[in-house]
Chains A and B, each alone.
Chain A
Amino acid sequence: MSWNIVADVRQLFLFSFMVNALRAGTIVAVAAGALGWFMVLRRQAFAGHTLAIVSFPGAAGAILVGISATVGYFTAAIAAALVIAAVPRSADGRARSGESAIIGTVQAFALACGALFVSLYGGFLNGLTNLLFGSFLGISPSQVVALLAVATAALAVLAVIARPLFFASVDPDVAAARGVPVRLLSGVFLVLLGCAAAEVSQITGALLVFALLVMPAATAQQVTARPMASFWLTIALGLVVVWLALAAAYYSVYPVGFFVTTFGFAAYVLAAAGRAAAARSRRLRLAATPAGSTA
């Protein structure tokens, strides 16, 4: 690393593995940002985490039987999304209290299966670390194509259902009364979230998906309560975090998942601190005005 920014950035694009990583990271950041924004709004982070965890035995199992890990990631996550969507709900689409217990059970079993598959494969330790904590080395052009195809399909479906899904997420009772198919949308959303979680898992590893699924969306929603603004800010934050993290990982020996998470965390802390400071200065301003005028 030369500290000559132009030369350093140019060097990032010299090697095809790095170009593939940047392409994959960009695709994943956009998909994760869009689906993660709705996940944070709907408070389904636990379901999102489970979908990512499930992609770990999916990938390990795929490697074990000799098929593409990418296929394993998506198959497992989408299957798990369908299982969670099948959990009985009340008529308005809200999950009953048993949902988190069922999701937790699925998650623990999935992790255990993943451990078994890795062990059956021969306990290849480096592979295990990559599956859990991410790697940007060795992303193949065909993997990039698969990520792009899944992300495009997921985002296209999301674009069609976005407004009724927003309605159903914020105000399920009124949405249902207006004829929004709340239950169906909830299931479709989980499948889309499964796609996004499986994509993120391939970059950050199964355990660190929240770095891209939760952190940009949570940060953006701290910054603004305008839905459109916070949605686009989520995607912008995801892109910046992924690009910075890939660059940092390229110039260091540490895993990319660490950098994605650290940059995402830093953005969240800054946003939360900024919001707290803004709220405090507003309170002080209100306190400075004569009593009664603010009531």
Chain B
Amino acid sequence: MLPAERSDAAVRFADAAVQVGGKTIWSGVNLTVASGEFMAVLGPNGVGKSTLIKAALGLIGLSAGTVTVLGRPAGQTGKEIGYLPQRRNFDAGLRVRGTDVVSLGSDGERWGIPLPWGDRLFPARRAARGRVREVIDLVGASAFADRPIGEVSGGEQQRLLIAQALVRRPRLLALDEPLDSLDLPSQASVTALISAICREQGMTVMLVAHDVNPILPYLDCVAYLAAGGAVCGTPGEVITSQTLTALYRTPIEVLRASDGRLVVVGEPEPPARHADRHAGPAGHP
């Protein structure tokens, strides 16, 4: 059965295409994420993985086809999507606590200013504050949430931002390169966290990544994106020499190392460069 035929889809792209500035980023994309699944979106740099996430959020309109999210057209799902955009780290001099950044996830777009002593007057605000503490606990950030966010490490910032995306109990979590700029232990622990949240809260997760190996053990399915379409399915189905060669129309070989790690040879973005991207200083400043 093709994934596109499933009925309990959280996200479904059908013959979708996107143009930015008159240039087609990708077209003919058919892709389905089933409800409650942990999916990774993979592909070479510049193929439009972030654009795919933004199209699902309704931040970028399609030039052809449709995208349905949680049963509705993209852009009409508002609070039900938690979004973590691709980013650089916070400025080291930013004197705002992690807790405050997480709180913005719950009411940041509301007009006006919170009244002093509002916690005592409004039960809803007390509940919102309790929820902020709860998600900070959930992502294991309690120890550093009260420090200025610019002073904590990249991995700790990423945990706080995941908490921010989770505050309003979204049904879909869209994470754009949450592992980029993290050292390898942080990549593993953040992925384990996301996977645990996905299972325990029954949340659908779409995660953009450039290296499949740190996340491979946790994934339900993967989608490889190319200019002319996408293939999705279980990692075993998709990450094969045959599938990827057909998708990218260039000879690609998938090798499996003795420890189960996959090495994709011939992909437009060579795996050797992945190691370089993580070679920089990581962890605490």
Residues of A at the B interface (CB closer than 8 Å) are: 41, 43, 159-164, 166-167, 170-171, 173-180, 221-222, 224-228, 230
Contacts and interface: CB of A to CB of B under 8 A. Distances in A.
Nearest to A181: B109
Contacts of B57: 177
- Give the 7 A-B CB pairs with smallest separation, nearest first: A167-B108, A173-B85, A221-B95, A225-B148, A162-B113, A225-B95, A178-B109
B107 to A, nearest CB: 7
B104 A170 contact: yes
A163 B111 contact: yes
Interface string B146-189: 01100000000000010011000000000000000000000000
Contacts of A41: 94, 96
Interface in B89-126: 90-91, 94-97, 100-101, 104-105, 107-114, 116
B97 A164 contact: no
B85 A163 contact: no
Contact of A166 (B84, B87, B108): B108
Contact of A167 (B83, B109, B116, B148): B109
Contacts of A228: 114, 116
Chain B CB within 10 Å — which of A170, A175, A225 has the most? A225
A227 B101 contact: no
Contacts of A160: 111-112
B109 A175 contact: yes
A99 to B, nearest CB: 17
24 contacts: A41-B94, A159-B112, A163-B109, A163-B110, A163-B111, A163-B112, A164-B110, A166-B108, A170-B96, A170-B101, A173-B85, A173-B87, A174-B164, A177-B57, A177-B59, A177-B83, A178-B108, A221-B95, A224-B95, A225-B95, A225-B97, A225-B100, A226-B97, A230-B95
Given A225-B95, A226-B97, A227-B100, A180 B108 contact: yes
Given A164-B111, A167-B104, A225 B96 contact: yes
B108 A163 contact: yes
Contacts of A163: 107-114
B61 to A, nearest CB: 13
A221 B96 CA distance: 8
A46 to B, nearest CB: 16
Interface string B50-80: 0000000101000000000000000000100
Contacts, number: 79
A13 B108 CA distance: 44
A162 B112 contact: yes
A221 B95 CA distance: 6
B96 A227 contact: yes
Interface in B218-262: none
Given A222-B95, A226-B97, A174 B105 contact: yes
A180 B104 CA distance: 12
B111 A170 contact: no
Contacts of B147: 225
Contacts of B164: 171, 174
A174 B114 CA distance: 20
Contacts of B91: 43
B97 A171 contact: no
Contact of B94 (A162, A170, A222, A224): A170
Nearest to A226: B97
Contacts of A173: 85, 87
B146 to A, nearest CB: 8
B269 to A, nearest CB: 24
Contacts of A159: 112-113
Contacts of A226: 97, 100
Given A225-B147, A227-B96, A174 B85 contact: yes
A50 B115 CA distance: 33
Contacts of A164: 108-111
Contacts of B107: 163
A171 B148 contact: no
B151 to A, nearest CB: 9
A63 to B, nearest CB: 38
Contacts of B114: 163, 228
A293 to B, nearest CB: 12
Given A159-B113, A164-B108, A164-B110, 7 more contacts: A159-B112, A163-B111, A167-B108, A170-B96, A174-B104, A177-B59, A227-B100
A166 B104 contact: yes
Contacts of B96: 41, 170, 225, 227
